[in-house]
Amino acid sequence: MTLGEFSVIARFFSRPVSPGILGVGDDAARLSLPPDTDLVSCKDLLIEGRHFFSDVAPATLGHKALAVNLSDLAAMGAKPLACLLGIGLTAPCPDWLGDFADGFYRLADQWQCPLIGGDTISSDFGTVISVTALGTLPKGELGLRRDRGQIDDDLWLSGDLGGADVALRALQGDDKISPELLAATRERLERPEPRVALGQALLPLAHAAIDVSDGLAQDLQHLLKASHCGAEIQWQQLPLHPMLQTLPENIKRLAVLNGGDAYELCFTAPKRSRTDIEQLAIALSIPLSRVGSLTQAPGLRLHHGNGLVESLSAQGFDHFKRGEQHG
């Protein structure tokens, strides 16, 4: 069954929005910002074969396409406002679109982030998804900028790391990853939970933040560079996904330090925030691990339990350098 562009939009991407919003159906969407807020905006592109497998479950893909953008808003401490979806499809299939839309809208509804517009086109060579997320920050609130890290800040991580990378390896055929381990980690890869509530709650407590999308070593070094400082991190404090403990050290290490797609927040906060952050972890039911601190000395140093200190270079995911698929 072939669907036309306008029937795709009408059938799958025109769910009602609140009164006062002009949503899908005009040349552009329109809405008001809440009083005394600034606009925060970001966009991420996802391409079949590069960011997702061709046979990924469409509800999962709909979730993830929005989740990676909400994660960027979260890393600013922004509150979601609305989103736009551009989608390029080879042959639109109603079942696929229905499931994709369900996954997308479910997450959008969870964070009150209505889909207000976008573009639906035909693509000759695979599915392309482009989401723009719009959010707000209170005026006068600095937000969790990458360049606000301060020397002696504690360094924190939300959730756990390595699960998405291990699942990706398994799906790419790495037979060192058991089916049980894939089953236990697959949700991390395919349905990351953007740390939206955490980001907003950290505004009064934290200085700088970044979301871990391209690997901790690389993303953290973006933050350090922007903040003109270095960091020490403790290997034994890093929140390894609980199912990864039994993996060989080299795989564990790569998954935790260089694995992409984690969508956890890496943030810095003054020592005086420790108690509040620990209470926040309980209130939000999100593990928050204190993994190190910022230093005047530049560079990123990893402390192993045995006294060994290793200098890390950024070796995360660079979209033009690693040939393999990024899930």
By CB under 8 A, what part of segment 243-262 binds a copy of itself? none
Which helix (H) or strand (E) segment holds residue 43: the answer is strand 37-47
Closer CB to a copy of itself, 8 or 240, in the complex: 8
Q: Does 45 bind a copy of itself (CB under 8 A)?
A: yes
* Of the residues 66, 73, 167, 256, which one makes contact with a copy of itself according to CB under 8 A: 73
Q: Judge whether 219 and 210 are in contact, CB under 8 Å.
A: yes
Q: Which of 44, 153, 165, 190 binds a copy of itself (CB under 8 A)?
A: 44
Q: Name the 3-class secondary structure at 49.
A: coil
Residue 107 engages a copy of itself in binding (rule: CB under 8 A): no
Stretch that binds a copy of itself, among 20-28, 93-101, 189-197, 274-282 (CB under 8 A): 20-28
Which among 223, 225, 230 has a CA at the least distance from the CA of 206? 223
Longest pairwise C-alpha distance within the chain: 64
204 contacts a copy of itself (rule: CB under 8 A): no
**Please, what is the Cα angle at 155 between 246 and 113, to 5 degrees?**
90
Question: Which of 11, 15, 17, 86 lies at the binding interface for a copy of itself (CB under 8 A)?
Answer: 86
CA dist list (Å): 324 to 51, 117, 149, 265, 317: 10, 32, 33, 25, 10
* Total number of residues that touch a copy of itself (CB under 8 A): 72
Residue 25 interacts with a copy of itself (CB under 8 A): yes or no? yes
Q: Among 19, 54, 55, 124, which residue interacts with a copy of itself (rule: CB under 8 A)?
A: 124
Q: Which is nearer to a copy of itself, 61 or 210 (CB)?
A: 210
- Give the footprint of a copy of itself on residues 305-324 (CB under 8 A): 318-321
